[in-house]
Amino acid sequence: MDEDSDSHLHTDRASHPDSDSLSSTAHPTTGHPPAGQAPYTRGIHNDMYRSRLWTMRQYAGFSDAGSTNARFRDLLENGQSGLSVAFDLPTQLGLDSDHLSAEGEVGKVGVPIDSIHDMRTLFDGIDLGSVSTSMTINAPATSLYALYVAYAEECGVDRRALRGTVQNDILKEYIARGLYVFPPEPSMRLTTDLMSWSKDNTPNWNTISISGYHMREAGCTAAQELAFTLSNGLQYTDSAIAAGLEIDDFAPRMSFFFGCHNDFFEEVAKFRAARALWHDLVTKKYNPSNPKSTKLRFHTQTAGVTLTAQQPLNNAVRVAYQAMAAVMGGTQSLHTNSFDEAIGLPTEESARLALRTQQILAHETRITESVDPLAGSYLVEELTQRLYDEARELIMLIDERGGALQCVISGFQQREIHDSAWNQLNSVESGKTEVVGVNLHQSAKNEISSAQTLDMGLAQEQILRLSKMKELRDGETVERKLSNIREAANSGQNLLDPMIDAYLNEATLGEVNSVLRDVFGTWISPSGV
């Protein structure tokens, strides 16, 4: 299913004799075209999981690159089909581990990456030419991507062989997550620089993963998640075209990222509506020649916000149902949360169980033998249409207000999410929304599970390694390479080549982004997010 996935599923088709006919003709009740045909309500590929499974990615990042490399190897050995990198907060903000503002946060929620030395350790023994890598990074997305390409070149890997995704979605940082660095306009320039450079250099790379997940985690509804995500997608498309790209140059490599929550049928319908709505919006506004430009490909993560510290083993059940909804909805890639994530970083045991949840779903439930198992359900069809209509109406409202970027600057989406989050919180606290273990079937017994413990000494070791590298490198060469980045930033030249050159010569992430801060400045959201 995933464009970069190489895991295949072979099934006994005779056990589901109606699957072939339903995959090749319009549905007899709804009239929806079959999977693989526009508007892709029923899926973007003819056979869906009957010919290829979704990519199984487990998000991982620990106190240092060596620890994270060990987790990556364990997951790959246990059948994971793609890597997904979690970065610590300083890295996500473009800061080196030795920066004053990074104190106390190094290695806390992901892996710290300061230089090409850390990239070497992170992917030691892993062939970048054969593995698909997803990097959840936004404000410094160009920087981390440049580091990845620089390390691949060191290893002799052809750029054109690199496969994976970089999130590179800055709008949702302003809307919901808060990890932005630069003002919106130069941030959009960094996004389109990456998209433009990748078109010619890394054609198999997904240059942006437009994320609804974080907005849903912040409290928006399913319809708002659809509307804000697809509206952001339209904004990125407009910006790329304004930067000189044609729609078919980049749209086939755009991907999306959604959360999957507890309302099973609503979530299935959400994914179906997303595909149809994206197809219709792109077709009407841009009229692309390549059909792939209108296909919405997406990664799904089960909902972290639904995980509870109370009775944490219940989370394994929640995750399983959410994962099934994502598969029923036709996802191309899936991350299943670990049951102990409301307490701390996943343990090796809980991470393996999360992966096994996907594998059991794929190989034991047999739901993959039907292309679109819920097609024709009165409930799912009605929900699909309702979500399509509600999301489209909100997208039109955003468009009337000047588009996603202008609405971000004015704080429109932020205020909408704040209101929805407040309503959801009140619903849980009043008991209207039932949460087992929290406001229903509570237990007096303390059932807190043991959690992953961090070795905080690793953070100090990271800082010492960084200090040693700075002492031993050629400082004059680094300054010259950083000056090239400054010149490119001021002149409007694409930033990827000078960044790659600087990283190959041991410039650090913090130094590169300090140059960009000097040129672009910083920004504070009007909502205070």
* Average pLDDT value for the chain: 91
What is the tally of structural domains in the chain? 1
Q: Are 166 and 141 in contact (CB under 8 A)?
A: yes
Region 422-447: mean pLDDT is 90
Between the alpha carbon of residue 212 and those of residues 144, 229, 264, 298, the distances in Å are 22, 5, 17, 10
Q: What is the pLDDT of residue 241?
A: 96
Range of the domain at 215: 13-428
Per-residue pLDDT for 20 more than 80? Answer: no
Per-residue pLDDT for 13 more than 90? Answer: no
Per-residue pLDDT for 1 more than 70? Answer: no
> What whole-number distance in Å separates Cα of residue 346 and Cα of residue 68?
12
Q: What is the pLDDT of residue 252?
A: 94
| DSSP 8-state symbol, 432 | S
- pTM for this model (two decimals): 0.90
Query: pLDDT for 203-218, tens place per residue?
Result: 999 999 999 999 999 9
> What whole-number distance in Å separates Cα of residue 298 and Cα of residue 91?
25
> Partners of 440 in the beta sheet?
436
Q: Is residue 7 part of a domain?
A: no
Q: Is residue 218 part of a domain?
A: yes
Q: What is the pLDDT of residue 297?
A: 95
Per-residue pLDDT for 255 more than 50? Answer: yes
Q: What is the pLDDT of residue 128?
A: 94
**Tokens matching residue 467:** 């200090």
Taking Cα atoms as reference points, which of 361, 30, 392 lies closest to residue 229? 392
What residue ranges in 303-384 does DSSP mark as E strands? 333-335
Query: For 88-102, 250-264, 338-352, 399-413, which range has the lowest pLDDT when averaged over its residues?
Result: 338-352
Q: Is residue 206 part of a domain?
A: yes
**Tokens matching residue 209:** 């993963």
Residue that wins the pLDDT comparison between 80 and 503: 503
> Partners of 111 in the beta sheet?
87
pLDDT band at 24 (very low <50, low <70, confident <90, very high): low
* CATH code (residue 130): 3.20.20.240
Query: pLDDT for 174-192, tens place per residue?
Result: 999 999 999 999 999 999 9
Q: What is the pLDDT of residue 28?
A: 65
Query: pLDDT for 438-475, tens place per residue?
Result: 999 998 776 666 666 666 788 899 999 999 999 999 99
Region 361-372: mean pLDDT is 95
Q: What is the pLDDT of residue 22?
A: 46
pLDDT band at 32 (very low <50, low <70, confident <90, very high): confident
Q: Is residue 435 part of a domain?
A: no
| DSSP 8-state symbol, 370 | S
Query: pLDDT for 274-301, tens place per residue?
Result: 999 999 999 999 999 999 999 999 999 9
pLDDT band at 3 (very low <50, low <70, confident <90, very high): very low
Region 84-108: mean pLDDT is 94
Q: What is the pLDDT of residue 7?
A: 36
Name the range with the highest mean pLDDT among 54-68, 189-203, 451-465. Answer: 189-203
Q: Is residue 433 part of a domain?
A: no
Element (H, E) at 259: strand 254-260
Q: What is the pLDDT of residue 8?
A: 33
Percent of the chain with pLDDT over 70: 92
Q: What is the pLDDT of residue 53?
A: 93
- Which amino acid is residue 522, in one-letter code? T
Query: pLDDT for 513-529, tens place per residue?
Result: 999 999 999 988 775 44
Region 251-262: mean pLDDT is 96
Q: Is residue 23 part of a domain?
A: yes
Residue that wins the pLDDT comparison between 351 and 496: 496
Q: Is residue 103 part of a domain?
A: yes
pLDDT band at 9 (very low <50, low <70, confident <90, very high): very low
> What whole-number distance in Å separates Cα of residue 81 and Cα of residue 132?
8
Region 9-13: mean pLDDT is 36
Q: What is the pLDDT of residue 450?
A: 64
Q: What is the pLDDT of residue 88?
A: 94
Q: Is residue 231 part of a domain?
A: yes
Q: What is the pLDDT of residue 452?
A: 62
